[in-house]
Amino acid sequence: MASREISQAVIRRLPRYYRYLGELLESGVERISSNELSKRMKVTASQIRQDLNNFGGFGQQGYGYNVKYLYTEIGKILGLNEKHKFVIIGAGNLGQALANYAAFENRGFVLKGLFDVNPRLAGLTIRGVEIRMMDELKDFVKENDIEIGVLTIPKTKAVEVANLLVDNGVKAIWNFAHTDLNLPDNIIVENVHLSESLMRLSYNITRYNEEHEGK
Amino acid sequence: MASREISQAVIRRLPRYYRYLGELLESGVERISSNELSKRMKVTASQIRQDLNNFGGFGQQGYGYNVKYLYTEIGKILGLNEKHKFVIIGAGNLGQALANYAAFENRGFVLKGLFDVNPRLAGLTIRGVEIRMMDELKDFVKENDIEIGVLTIPKTKAVEVANLLVDNGVKAIWNFAHTDLNLPDNIIVENVHLSESLMRLSYNITRYNEEHEGK
DNA sequence: TAGATTGTTAATCGATTAACAATC
DNA sequence: TAGATTGTTAATCGATTAACAATC
């Protein structure tokens, strides 16, 4: 089941298809045409069919797509049936928010540890997972075969910690620090730069105000 | 200073330029060529010049770009010099994380209130801002001219609350709920769908594993 | 002035949309 | 079978990259 290169644009849309199909499934819809889905999602039917056909023919002429089947298949493509052990570095508000975040489990992500520099947090547990101090990080990652590190620490520390994780076997980083990590090509990085999201919001408000309040 | 339509691709890159220029400024770099910046940011010099020239000619032939000037100008384009009053709906871990989030202030965002359904949070303050109950939301938004609502509530409530906010004068939503809001066209929505980010991470890990561990 | 580097036009590349034959 | 809708090829559109004349 090897694959041509799939464009990032397609990959970015995949989780959104998955979400909509999940909602359809919940509301008991059995089948859907690309045309009907296109209306709900506000994308073209053509794009839906093109996107899906990167991965195989999931539909049937004259019928459309079976919602449950398509949902399951996209789940497989996204790898949601596989288990991934991860740790969170930085047990502040954001780190704790993520630790409590139920979506992890549905997606196959298993939280193994939380780490922080603040000694007052040492030994506390969140959802049964202990907060440990940073000096334990290296050994913990190695011994527990941790695959993913979630970075919710200030940018000043992020690069250093990311390198430590990678040196000890971590394969992927979910990066919430406001910096680029510049890791080796074989390391997968998914950035969540909230500050950039906020600036886009600011840009759009500003542009809207300029257009509508004269000037 | 009106404007042709700027593409979303350009807008998405703008905050990243701003971040890199801020770092250059901090490290005392006075001027930079598109070529040098392109090496640091790993984009083409051509793209940098094209992007910036959507907004004006900020450089000088034979010299490059003055870092401080360009930083300031991009800040203006992003509207970071303007003040925006906002409230956070949902004072759980994520809402509290955002309330404590310093970047807001640097970007001109002023937190006016936090709202939640949990009565045990009532009256608590975060950074001097009180947590209020949801039944006060409507009047509060109206009376305080709130411009932006940040939604850190479950998706089941998000659409309803978003509509309430918009009906009472809110112009923009920073949406962390896992759903699309379908608001009127004149309302600005910036989505942060963490669950989709996580699925992209999952996809990339899975694809990488498939390629490298046989199969 | 000569060298460097921009701003901008032209060429290329990739992604989206349209169209339609295949087929359930 | 006739109607519906896919899968896929072709056409269009937009974004990125290359090239270079303008100019500091």
Same fold, A8-77 and A84-196: no
The reply to whether B191 Cβ lies less than 7 angstroms from strand C is no
| pLDDT one-digit tens code per residue, B178-189 | 999 999 999 999
Closest to A48 measured CA to CA, from A80, A21, A81: A21
A12 with B200: Cβ contact below 8 A: yes
pLDDT of res. B1:
36
∠ CA B65-B70-B73, rounded to 5° = 150
pLDDT of res. A3:
47
Helices (H) and strands (E) in chain A, counts: 9, 10
pLDDT at position A146 over 60: yes
pLDDT of res. A66:
98
pLDDT of res. B145:
97
pLDDT of res. B59:
97
pLDDT of res. B2:
36
pLDDT of res. A215:
47
pLDDT at position A37 over 60: yes
- pLDDT confidence tier of residue B101, bands split at 50, 70 and 90: confident
H helices present in chain A, as ranges: 8-26, 34-41, 45-53, 67-77, 93-99, 103-106, 137-143, 155-167, 194-212
What's chain A's average pLDDT? 95
Question: What's the gap between Cα A37 and its chain centre?
Answer: 23
B40-to-A89, B45, B51, B58, B148 alpha-carbon distances in Å: 26, 10, 16, 19, 34
Across B106-127, b (16+ Cβ under 10 Å) vs e yields ebbbebbbbbbeeeebeeeebe
- Chain D: positions less than 7 Å from a protein CB are 2-9, 14-19, 22-24
Residue range A8-77, CATH number: 1.10.10.10
A79 with B103: Cβ contact below 8 A: no
pLDDT at position B215 over 70: no
Tell me how many residue pairs between chain A and chain B have CB atoms under 8 A apart: 172
A203 with B77: Cβ contact below 8 A: yes
E strand or H helix at B19: helix B8-26
A74-to-A3, A78, B67, B154 alpha-carbon distances in Å: 15, 6, 45, 24
| pLDDT one-digit tens code per residue, A104-127 | 888 999 999 999 999 999 999 999
| pLDDT one-digit tens code per residue, B23-65 | 999 999 999 999 999 999 999 999 999 999 999 999 999 999 9
E strand or H helix at B163: helix B155-167
What's chain B's average pLDDT? 95
Domain boundaries, chain A: 8-77, 84-196
Amino acid whose CA is nearest the C1' of C15: A9
Q: Report d(CA A101, CA A158) in Å as an integer.
A: 22
CA-based diameter of chain A, in Å? Answer: 63
**If you classify domain B84-196 with CATH, what class do you get?**
alpha beta
Judged by C1' against the alpha carbon of B35, the nearest nucleotide is C5
Question: In this predicted model, which residue has the larger pLDDT, A3 or B214?
Answer: B214
- Interface probe for A, chosen from B43, B201, B207, B210 (most Cβ of A below 10 Å), is B201
Judged by C1' against the alpha carbon of A46, the nearest nucleotide is C17
Q: Report d(CA B115, CA B86) in Å as an integer.
A: 11
Closest to B101 measured CA to CA, from A176, A100, A151: A176
CB contacts, 8 Å: B205 with chain A: 79, 84, 147-148, 171-172, 188
Mean pLDDT of B189-195: 97
| pLDDT one-digit tens code per residue, A78-113 | 999 999 999 999 999 999 999 998 778 889 999 999
Beta bridge partners, B190, equal: B174
Side-chain-side CA neighbours of residue B200 (13 Å): 23
